[in-house]
Structure 1
Amino acid sequence: MTQIVWIARHANRLDFVNPDWFLTAERRYDPPLSDDGMVQAQQLAKRLKHEKIKHIFASPFLRTVQTANAVAEVLDLPIKLETGLSEWLNPAWMTEEPVKLPTRLLAELFPRIDISYTPRIAANYPETREQVRSRSGQTARCLSCEFLPEHILLVAHGASVLGAAMGLVGEIAQTEVKASLCSLVKVVREEPKWLLELKGDTSHLSEIEEVIRFN
């Protein structure tokens, strides 16, 4: 039985373009996409338009929801918010648990969000590197099994993209996957194993980041 799991990292974020945004932001650890990030998200959507994806899952952070929404609009699909795909809740990056918009408010902004969906995996602050890889890997395995044989898209962050890929193909992903902004990983289930076909593809983007920032 064949199934494709696509894993995308969110597009460029406002605080990467304007670091001063962080100083006055109401939700410091939940930045939106930048203007060029919105363009990247639309380019990702165009890339995935004909891939027969049936379900879109996104981390509940604003930048991942915005990226997923661009794809959902083109594919005419709902968005399921999955906390198991969340950002690495790294205390070295975040002095406190990140404040995010509640699902109800996100759904008002993005009506494609399926408010009936219950996240399968929790993400708890603070986390070690091993913990984020474990829970995002568990998330990828859980969703791929639950929605087999349908193709699915996971929209996540640098650490959770890598963890999700590792959860399917194993340790090889640690050295093979390069999760740059708005990149695309493609993992194919061909029983009894998973094959890593794209390792962080950015060929759909008109501009890519020169140095991969892992957050």
Structure 2
Amino acid sequence: MSQIVWIARHANRLDFVNPDWFLTAERRYDPPLSDDGMIQAQQLAQRLKGEKIAHIFASPFLRTVQTANAVAEALDLSIKLETGLSEWLNPEWMTEEPERLSTLALADLFPRIDTSYTSRIAAQYPETHAKVRERSGQTARCLAAEFFPDDILLVAHGASVLGGAMGFVGDIAIKEVKATLCSLVKLVRQDSEWLLELTGDTSHLTATEKVVRFV
């Protein structure tokens, strides 16, 4: 039996384009996508349109939900919000636990969200680098096993994309995976072995970032 796990990083975020947004934002650690990020999300959706993805899971941060929603629209699927895919809750980046929209508030904005889904893995502020890798790796393995043999898509953040890949192939992911904005990682299960087939593909994007930022 085989299975494919796709892991995508969210598209470009507004505070990368306009850093001043952070100064007056109501939820400063939960920025939306930028205008060019919305285009990237649509390009990701077109890239995945021909794939046999059966389930989409997204971190509950706004930028990942927006990215996942573009794909869900193209594939006519629901979105399951999974806390285990969350941003790295790094106290050096965030002076307090990040405030986010509730699941119901997000579902009002994005009706494809499956409000009956219960997140499998928790993410607790603050957390270390090792913890985010452990948490996101555990989440990726858990979802792959629970929904086997269906192909699944995980929409996450730089650190949780890397950690998710590490959950299947271990430390080899540290050297191989380049989690740039809106990039794709592809892991293929053949019997009991996982193979890393794409390590951060951006061929679907017309514009890519030059430096990887795990933010």
In structure 1, how many angstroms separate the alpha carbons of the residues matched to 2:68 and 2:115? Answer: 15
Alignment of 1:48-87 (within 5 A): 48-87=48-87
In structure 2, how many angstroms separate the alpha carbons of the residues matched to 1:50 and 1:202? Answer: 16
Residue 136 (structure 1) aligns with: 136
Residue 165 (structure 1) aligns with: 165
The CA deviation string for residues 168-205 of structure 1, in whole angstroms up to 9 with x for no partner, is 11110011000000000000001221000000000000
The Cα of 1:48 is off from its aligned counterpart by 0.1
In structure 1, how many angstroms separate the alpha carbons of the residues matched to 2:182 and 2:53? Answer: 17
Give TM-score, length-normalised by structure 2.
1.00
Alignment of 1:29-178 (within 5 A): 29-178=29-178
In structure 2, how many angstroms separate the alpha carbons of the residues matched to 1:176 and 1:61? Answer: 26
Identity of aligned residues (%): 80
CA RMSD of aligned residues (A): 0.3
In structure 2, how many angstroms separate the alpha carbons of the residues matched to 1:106 and 1:214? Answer: 24
- Secondary structure, aligned partner of 1:130: helix
- Secondary structure, aligned partner of 1:112: coil
In structure 2, how many angstroms separate the alpha carbons of the residues matched to 1:143 and 1:102? Answer: 22
Structure 2 gaps, min length 5 = none
* Residue type at the aligned position of 2:112: R
- Secondary structure, aligned partner of 1:84: helix
Q: Does 1:11 align with 2:44?
A: no
In structure 2, how many angstroms separate the alpha carbons of the residues matched to 1:212 and 1:132? Answer: 18
The Cα of 1:131 is off from its aligned counterpart by 0.2
In structure 2, how many angstroms separate the alpha carbons of the residues matched to 1:168 and 1:110? Answer: 30
Structure 1 gaps, min length 5 = none
Q: Which runs of 4 or more aligned residues in structure 1 lie more than 3 Å from their structure 2 counterparts after TM superposition? A: none
- Secondary structure, aligned partner of 2:211: coil
The Cα of 1:163 is off from its aligned counterpart by 0.2
The Cα of 1:144 is off from its aligned counterpart by 0.2
- Secondary structure, aligned partner of 1:100: coil
- Secondary structure, aligned partner of 1:211: coil
Residue 180 (structure 1) aligns with: 180
In structure 1, how many angstroms separate the alpha carbons of the residues matched to 2:89 and 2:173? Answer: 21
- Secondary structure, aligned partner of 2:68: helix
In structure 2, how many angstroms separate the alpha carbons of the residues matched to 1:192 and 1:152? Answer: 17
Work out the number of aligned pairs and report it: 215
